[in-house]
Amino acid sequence: MGLTVTEKILSTHIGEGKLEKGSVIGLKIDQCLTQDSTGTMAWLQFESLGLPKVKCEVAVSYVDHTSLSFKGESSDDHLFLRTVAQKFGAFYSKAGNGVCHQVHYERFAAPGKTLLGSDSHTPTSSALGMIAIGAGGADVAVSMGGGYFYTRVPKVMKVNLLGKLQHGVAAKDVVLEVLRQLTVKGGVGYIIEYTGPGVDTLSIPERATITNMGAETGATTSVFPSDHVTLEFLRQQSRERDWISLEADADAVYDKEITVDMDNLEPLVAMPGSPDNIKPISEVEGTPIHQVYLGSCTNGSYRDMAIAGLMLEGRRVNKEIEVACSPGSRQVEQQLLEDGTFETMVRSGVRMLEPGCHACIGMGFVPGYQHYSVRTVNRNWLGRGGSKDGKLILASVEVAVASAIAGKLADPRKLEYPEFQDVFEEGFDIDDSMILPPVAEADASKVEVKRAPNIKAIRPQTPPPASFEAEVLLKVGDGISTDDILPAGSLTQHLRSNLPEIAKYTYYYIDREFAKRAEAASSGFIIGGDNYGQGSSREHAALAPWQLNIKAVFAKSYARIHKANLINAGIFPFETDTDAIDMGDKIHIDLAGLPTGKLVGKNLTKGTDIPVTIELGQRDLDILMCGGILAYTRAKAS
């Protein structure tokens, strides 16, 4: 029986366990990345390991989320991240160099390798035929230190791509169609692998759009083969040496299969509320809009920006709306300057921003009250983009630009423009001057890590008692995202290295009194529904409740990364039917049944039993019984 691309890569990186579906394995990680929203905490955790330098092949500390430093604390974080990278042997990508995922697949990603990143869209780099996974900062810290990344062996889902994208239809529409078929939780427990004759027609930037937004299905990652398209892209990046051929065997067996026929695909959009609220453009065409935002890690490639320029040549954006654009990287920006696309976009009325995350996470260009904002980003939940009152529509560059010209949602197939020609005989202009390489080991020992007063050490993690008895301090519904738990944007971005302060914004958009109530109670529970904690890898969504002394979450099911982050923070992720549990109920639960995974809690307020399950490997159990992964790692080391 042949092997999938997924199985080929995983089988060469198993440090512990066996490649059997559902079993826990320890993966050797070749590359690690952090970014400034999650990176300060991840590097603080790495420091706590007491190691002299990183042990993985490549570690990169990126600044992209707070690159404009709206608050001085962000500048403090940047200095910390630069000096800690120099101290411990990592690359440092400066503010303005671009979004971590775009830069990483341009300059570091390599077929056959593994990558772990403290950002949920780390799977972007899997476009080049590697296994790239998003995780919490603590897991990344351990992997930077040479430790394994522990995960259950996922099932492998085949997405069979047929045909070729037609005029006005884009790779974004492919992944939106996958989301339409799977929903935001249909990929949980899977790695999505793209195969079929249609793969050959997609460039690396198009594949990167698909692997990037595959995170919204809940999948562990999405992966493409490494083929002649991969080789050509690496040649353009002067990195042919990193190429290997890596494709699934003809007789590879998959656990599930879906098909996307690109010949018959039409432009799609995700309407406000959820990335899987998918509508054909024909159903929503004409919807009035207020903003258009181009760029981000999903659609910030040179290809995307060049297509926008081709569509805008000789045209202007509608005078009634605002349009802004952030290229994905400085390399992309330089190419736009060289070929005249940058000037075309400026003359058309587009506001050009520096490469970075920016509007995607609400750092500027925040939509107004009930304003519709068409964005080429990957998420559109309540509160995403910096405002709980904005209405975000996710779309391809083609739909976004057509809509910018029309001033309302528009079908790009009705607009005439030249097709993009992906020909770079000389390759890209390679300029890594804003990526600081690791310093020599002798010099690293002399580096002083710079810490401002706002960078706070994490309080010690302590073992749990034999049982918990506390009040339900909050009850929420299905699909709660990490943005719901802890908002992104200007509210919190500058506080990522200060848990006591950032914890005050926990559930800010849903219940502004929650943090005060939790602090006053000194112990408590949260009740959730299905797919609790979907979305980003930000472990602050687990660490902030831990800071507020939340002892456990009771939910119907969990998103993969958030469940791991809860365990790493020392919060118990219990699973149960939560319909009959209400806010204010007092619950008692004895932890004696943990090794079996089955417990019975008591709702003392209602006088009823609560059957509880918790799926734990032995390592997960050990982490929880130590009080969290930092305490566990220190105990193991000693």
Domain boundary among 245, 264, 283: 264
Residues whose CB falls within 8 Å of the CB of residue 433, separated by 6 or more in sequence, listed in order: none
Quote the pLDDT of residue 162.
98
Confidence class for position 193, pLDDT limits 50, 70, 90: very high
Q: Is residue 439 part of a domain?
A: no
pLDDT at residue number 381: 86
pLDDT over 90 at 363, yes or no: no
**pLDDT at residue number 489:** 79
My answer on whether 515 and 373 are in the same domain is no
Domain co-membership, 275 together with 244: no
Whether residue 259 is found in the same domain as residue 302: no
Could you tell me if residue 409 is inside a domain?
yes
When the pLDDT of each residue in the chain is averaged and rounded to a whole number, the result is 95
Are 288 and 227 contained in the same domain? no
Q: What is the model's pLDDT at position 532?
A: 96
Give the pLDDT of residue 626.
Answer: 96
In terms of domains, do 256 and 303 share one? no
Give 300-354 as a DSSP string: -SHHHHHHHHHHHTT----TTSEEEEE-SBHHHHHHHHHHTHHHHHHHHTPEE--
Q: Which stretches of 400-448 are assigned E, i.e. beta strand?
A: 435-436
State the pLDDT at residue 339.
93
Crossing angle for the helix pair 137-144 and 36-48, to the nearest 10 degrees: 50
**Shared-domain flag, residues 12 and 153:** yes
Kindly tell me if the per-residue pLDDT of 131 is higher than 90: yes
Q: Which residues of 311-343 are buried (b: 16+ CB within 10 A; e: fewer)?
A: bbeebebbeebbbbbbbbbbbbbbbbeeeebbe
Spatial separation of the C-alpha atoms in residues 8 and 328, rounded to whole Å = 30
Task: Return the pLDDT at 175.
Answer: 98
Residues 70 and 156 in one domain: yes
Cβ–Cβ under 8 Å, residues 130 and 111: yes
Q: In what order do the strands lie in the sheet with 351-352?
A: 278-280, 268-270, 391-394, 372-375, 291-295, 322-326, 351-352
Instruction: Provide the token pair at 209.
Output: 């759009």
Q: How many residues does the chain have?
A: 638
Q: Does 442 map to a domain?
A: no
Q: Which residue has the higher pLDDT, 71 or 399?
A: 399
Q: Which residues contact 415 (CB under 8 A, 6 or more apart)?
A: 168, 311, 402, 405
Given phi > 0 = left and psi -120 to 50 = alpha, else beta, which region is 349?
Answer: left
pLDDT digits (tens, 9 = 90+) for 564-583: 999 999 999 999 999 999 99
What tokens were used for 528?
A: 């959730």
| Residue 431 domain flag | no
Is the domain of 18 the same as that of 157? yes
Q: What is the pLDDT of residues 108-120, one digit of tens each?
A: 999 999 999 999 9
From the list 217, 156, 216, the residue with the least C-alpha distance to 190 is: 156
Tokens of 372: 């519709």
Q: What is the CATH number of the domain that holds 525?
A: 3.20.19.10
Is 427 domain-assigned? Answer: no
Contacts (Cβ under 8 Å, ≥6 apart) of 619:
24, 150
**For 479-509, how does the pLDDT look when each residue is reduced to its tens digit (9 = 90+)?**
999 999 998 878 888 888 899 999 999 999 9
Percent of the chain exceeding pLDDT 70 equals 100
d(CA 294, CA 375): 6
| The total number of structural domains that make up the chain | 3
Whether 476 and 563 map to the same domain: the answer is yes
Asked if residue 505 and residue 398 are part of one domain, the reply reads no
DSSP 97-130: SB-HHHHHHHHT--TT-EEEESSTTGGGGGGGS-
Q: What is the pLDDT of residue 1?
A: 83
**200 occurs within a structural domain:** yes
> Is 637's pLDDT higher than 80?
no
- Is the per-residue pLDDT at 424 higher than 80? no
Mean pLDDT of 604-613: 97
Residue 49: pLDDT band (50, 70, 90) is confident
Q: Which two tokens stand for residue 61?
A: 């500390």
> Which domain-ending residue is among 227, 245, 264?
264
**Confidence at 633, pLDDT banded by 50, 70, 90:** confident
Only one residue has tokens 């430790």, namely: 147
Give DSSP secondary structure letters for 541-557: HHHHHHHTTEEEEEES-
Residues 20 and 80 in one domain: yes
Give the residue from 264, 281, 306 where a domain finishes. 264
Confidence of residue 245 (pLDDT cuts 50, 70, 90): very high
- pLDDT tens column, 376-422: 999 998 888 888 899 999 999 999 999 999 999 999 999 999 999 88
Instruction: Let me know if residue 454 belongs to a domain.
Output: no
Query: Is the same domain home to 342 and 215?
Result: no
**What average pLDDT does the segment 23-50 reach?**
94
Q: How confident is the model at residue 604 (pLDDT cuts 50, 70, 90)?
A: very high
Rounded to 5 degrees, φ, ψ at 635 are -65, -40
CATH number of the domain that 111 lies in?
3.30.499.10
Q: What is the extent of the structural domain holding 295? A: 268-414
CA 79 to chain CA centroid, Å, is: 24
Per-residue pLDDT reduced to its tens digit, 327-362: 999 999 999 999 999 999 999 999 999 999 999 988
Residue 420 lies in a domain: no
Q: What is the mean pLDDT of residues 141-150?
A: 95
Cα 280–Cα 283–Cα 287 angle in degrees, nearest 5: 110
